[in-house]
Structure 1
């Protein structure tokens, strides 16, 4: 190092570069970037959005609580409506024959149109008024899965053997009764008879305890909501009406019945709810060659029963003979005019 070049101050032996400043740069004034009050303290900015954020947060909390309450009640209602139907059967079950309809609508080869919801559940079937009873449609279902409309291995197999292609079900309420109407679209009238017989509870064989008889199963309501969750727990009755290649099952129970031992006459509500067959009458008129507009019910028969007895003449305990209500098919059911 030349003696003529002074060393860097403070650190002996280090040569100062020409590019280095003679003095350290003065740091930026602490006043830059903000104002100070007198006395040297920085002036704080006012909280402009604190109150607004508090209000917005409170509103959001209230909205979330309200949404939670609404969702709770909606889900609770859906769970009630989707409750599974009970696997029960009526205390009384009879099979009936529709006569002329069996000839006109004998098979799907003649009547090949599928059933639709508007046909089954609208028009006169939205409200059925008959026998001084007003039934109102509550819930309905039309499906190609016939097995979902019944419970029990015997009932399921019978529908499969009869080539069931559709099952329509509807629940109905009136002031004093509630019930279910079901229609199965089968291949032919023979299949309709076979399914009707398969739904009947078989009698025990000689020496066989009644409790060991296997229940073949029965129809299921489309909903297990109240009061249909009680169907079968009280005294109820059902009619299976063979209607050509369709089988219609109507099942009713008094709203106040809670015991199968409380036997009552249910022929009147059965006759009323049997008008669920109205769409089938319309089809029969379309295919009927004579286009009479009415169905003769003189040939309506009941299968089963004691030999030598006529439908409706069986004596029921607690009833006065001769004052029983008419049974389905024993009186003429008006047929709507063709459209």
Structure 2
């Protein structure tokens, strides 16, 4: 009996190479190698593909960081991190509203302290009573005049401005209205020049949120803790004056509260600066 012929194993036809432009199929199974089809089509080895991923991820992080930096830079000086600022300033009083004004041409004769070397005095600046229209303010204690400008402020930003501006004197006077309803403090800085005074008045537009002048404390009056206050800065040649005012009860101003008249009244302190303009101006030529 003839034994049966064993079956002939089927012949395997070699797989044809993939057509150009077509992706190779990945083989299934646990032995499958890691690869990225698109990079593989570009002719990159698996090692090269891994390097591309690593550097790509790093570049993404750098691009994101650069985008954040540019966004913050684009915001400029108006960007103030309120939460961070609040944690820094703690309970230090500061105005809720501020506006700054640069020096005008009127103050050109005293644009530099070298043209106006005579030091400020308390007597020059702070009268016992200031009156403007129906508003009357009275000194609530002895004014202070100091040569250490940095000691009269809190916050590194304002301290740096005063140091760079060559501040030699700071004078502060605290007033209250005759009816006891309002409180106002005037602060005058004696700086190097108009550029320094302008920088202080303008920069405080945002800087006041985290750096400000210290309030005078007297037994007769004080800014209420946490109360609403408003302020303005005025550059006058090489001087910078800060007006700071509010209601003694700390409430926000209402329709009957004329903060404009209150500000003009306390700014009568600036008459001393106008007298210095006259003193520093050249004498008119004879016959003119």
TM range (shorter): 0.5 to 0.7
Shift of 1:262: 6.7
1:254 aligns with 2:247: yes
TM-score normalised according to structure 1 size: 0.52
Q: Deviations over 1:92-139 (max 9, x none)?
A: 101123423431210111001111222223xxx221101311111123
Question: Any idea what SS the aligned residue of 2:113 has?
Answer: coil
Check whether the contact 2:193–2:237 (CA below 8 A) recurs between aligned residues: yes
Shift of 1:182: 0.3
**Which of 144, 150, 154 is 1:151 aligned to?**
154
Shift of 1:158: 0.7
Distance 1:131 1:98, change over 3 A: farther
For 1:239, the equivalent position in structure 2 comes to 232
Question: Any idea what SS the aligned residue of 2:264 has?
Answer: helix
Partner Cα separation in structure 1 for residue 280 and residue 167 of structure 2: 21
**Which of 166, 185, 191 is 1:186 aligned to?**
191
Shift of 1:184: 0.2
For 2:144, the equivalent position in structure 1 comes to 141
- Point out where structure 1 has 5 or more consecutive residues left out of the alignment: 1-85, 203-213, 292-339
Check whether the contact 1:170–1:221 (CA below 8 A) recurs between aligned residues: no
Distance 1:225 1:168, change over 3 A: same
Question: Any idea what SS the aligned residue of 1:109 has?
Answer: helix
Shift of 1:265: 5.2
For 2:105, the equivalent position in structure 1 comes to 100
For 2:42, the equivalent position in structure 1 comes to none
Q: Deviations over 1:144-185 (max 9, x none)?
A: 000121111101111001010000001001123111000000
For 1:274, the equivalent position in structure 2 comes to 267
Partner Cα separation in structure 2 for residue 271 and residue 246 of structure 1: 18
Partner Cα separation in structure 2 for residue 252 and residue 98 of structure 1: 21
The alignment of Structure 1 onto Structure 2 pairs a total of residues equal to 190
Question: Any idea what SS the aligned residue of 2:163 has?
Answer: helix
Distance 1:163 1:93, change over 3 A: same
For 1:301, the equivalent position in structure 2 comes to none
Q: Deviations over 1:281-321 (max 9, x none)?
A: 11112223478xxxxxxxxxxxxxxxxxxxxxxxxxxxxxx
- Point out where structure 2 has 5 or more consecutive residues left out of the alignment: 1-90
Shift of 1:234: 2.3
1:177 aligns with 2:182: yes
The list of structure 1 runs, each at least 4 consecutive aligned residues, that deviate by more than 4 angstroms after superposition, is: 260-265
Check whether the contact 2:108–2:237 (CA below 8 A) recurs between aligned residues: yes
Question: Any idea what SS the aligned residue of 1:118 has?
Answer: helix
Partner Cα separation in structure 2 for residue 164 and residue 187 of structure 1: 7
Question: Any idea what SS the aligned residue of 2:234 has?
Answer: strand
Partner Cα separation in structure 1 for residue 128 and residue 144 of structure 2: 13
Larger Rg: 1
For 1:114, the equivalent position in structure 2 comes to 119
TM-score normalised according to structure 2 size: 0.60
Q: CA RMSD in A?
A: 2.4
Check whether the contact 2:100–2:204 (CA below 8 A) recurs between aligned residues: no
Partner Cα separation in structure 1 for residue 147 and residue 197 of structure 2: 17
